[in-house]
Amino acid sequence: MTDSKRIALFPAPPARAAATPQRPRDQLGRPLHDLRISVMDRCNFRCSYCMPRETFHEHYRFLKSKERLSFEEIIRLSRLFACFGVEKLRLTGGEPLLRPNLAELVGELTAIGGIKDVALTTNGVLLAQHAAQLKANGLSRITVSLDTLDPEIFKQMSGGFAERDRVLEGIRAAQAANLTPIKINVVVERGVNDHTLLDTVDYFRGSGIIVRFIEYMDVGNRNQWTLERVVPSRELLERIGARWPLHPVQENYRGEVAERYAFDDGAGEIGFISSISNPFCGTCTRARLSSEGVLYTCLFAQSGLDLRAPMRAGASDDELRELIASCWRARSDRYSELRQSLQKREPQQHKIEMYYIGG
Ligand SMILES: C[S@@+](CC[C@H](N)C(=O)[O-])C[C@H]1O[C@@H](n2cnc3c(N)ncnc32)[C@H](O)[C@@H]1O
Ligand code: SF4
């Protein structure tokens, strides 16, 4: 995007903000590389595995707009993260497209020195109306969540919203806007949508769109997760491979979460995200910022570091940078690798919810 096209919401930072990155390493030697930013805790779906209706009902207290980080605050923190060598930002939620003027934020984030990639994860319902503007403002890539093509099961999994066709329309709009590569996230739940997944593969094969199957995860405490509902990626790989032979493909970069497989007949690739059966904590370089400005160093964290309070109390960039670096240096999280022993030791751990921290 050219500077003239970009809407200048906030003045450019002093040159110092783009200083040579000093990338902190955590207790396990992992660098800080990506930042996921939840821009909105609310959602227009109630997926049973994420925001079950029984908990997230009409009286549930979501954040008020003043409690959420403003665009200015998100941009400031993103610049500080970029100083540490963070190159990739992913906007998520809740549903990020519910945040008004999101494309403007994208424009500002892509202009930060050192940021090479700004991506978005969305449920796709509002995508058709925003895809072109997001692309124009510099969004590099998009991931759309679509658990099944079966309209009834879609409705059931999204918490009663019969929006499958709008999501498909959003995906077409993203294609037309050239927001590529488009990835489709499919959460797999045994006995719920696993019998529909070959149809999903069939639908997207040959389109250039990459479908990724995610093992149902025990994020948060409210989704009634049990191991029996997880379909291990290996099982799925066998089922899909029996219909369309597949071969493994090398990861695009170290620490890529999805294991990639390509169709032998050249019709593209699919991926598997296997946090349960094959944890990837060892190469995890992701930090997460909640919509109210709490920094988490793991998707399964029990607590985080509040950056909003010091920021609103007038902390300098140096002070904030020190807070971020100390938090990352202290990090020793590897929940997925330790899942079984942690669950035995403390079955009722209070974990942060996915809608709040962002997937
Ligand atoms: C929390 S959502 C936020 C962005 C957007 N609302 C969406 O659904 O794409 C991000 C991703 O997390 C995934 N997700 C949510 N809960 C999950 C769970 N319990 N296990 C695995 N993936 C989950 C969703 O399917 C989605 O792809
Ligand atoms: S997975 Fe995404 S769409 Fe579904 S409830 Fe969670 S935040 Fe909303």
Distance CA 145, CA 168 (A): 10
Assess whether pLDDT exceeds 50 at residue 15. no
Q: Which residue has the higher pLDDT, 155 or 4?
A: 155
pLDDT exceeds cutoff 70 at 269: yes
Between CA 276 and CA 230 the distance in angstroms is 8
Residue 93 Cβ < 6 Å to ligand 1:
yes
By percentage, how much of the chain surpasses pLDDT 90?
75
pLDDT score, position 313? 98
Beta-carbon neighbour count of residue 285 at 10 Å?
19
Instruction: List beta partners, residue 25.
Output: 31
306-329 confidence digits (pLDDT tens): 999 999 999 999 999 999 999 999
Q: 260 phi and psi, to 5 degrees? A: -100, 140
Residue closest via CA to ligand 1's atom 13 equals: 359
The helix, strand and coil proportions of the chain, stated in percent and rounded to the nearest 5, come to 35, 20, 50
Q: Is any ligand 2 atom within 6 A of the Cβ of residue 97?
A: no
Mean pLDDT of 91-120: 97
Ligand 2 atom at minimum distance from 187 CA: 1
pLDDT level of residue 130 (50, 70, 90 thresholds):
very high
Mean of the per-residue pLDDT values of the chain: 90
With bands split at pLDDT 50, 70 and 90, how would you rate the model's confidence at 4? very low
Please work out whether the CB of residue 81 comes within 6 Å of at least one atom of ligand 2: no
In this structure, are residues 144 and 122 in contact, taking their beta carbons and an 8 Å threshold? Answer: yes
Supply the pLDDT for residue 347: 64
The predicted-structure confidence for 26-64, as pLDDT tens digits, reads as follows: 999 999 999 999 999 999 999 999 999 988 888 999 999
What predicted TM-score, i.e. pTM, was given to this entire model? 0.92
Query: 153-207, pLDDT tens digit by residue?
Result: 999 999 999 999 999 999 999 999 999 999 999 999 999 999 999 999 999 999 9
Between strands 34-40 and 286-289, the pairing is parallel
Chain position carrying tokens 């020793």 = 332
What is the rounded CA–CA span in Å between residue 178 and residue 62? 34
Atom of ligand 1 nearest to the CA of 358: 1
pLDDT of residue 58: 87
Candidates 37, 38, 44, 354: which one to mutate for ligand 1, based on the most atoms within 8 Å of Cβ?
354
How many C-beta neighbours within 10 Å does residue 157 have?
A: 24
Residue 51 near ligand 2, beta carbon < 6 Å: yes
The closest ligand to the CA of 212 turns out to be 1
For residue 59, what are the contacts with CB-CB under 8 A and spacing of at least 6? none
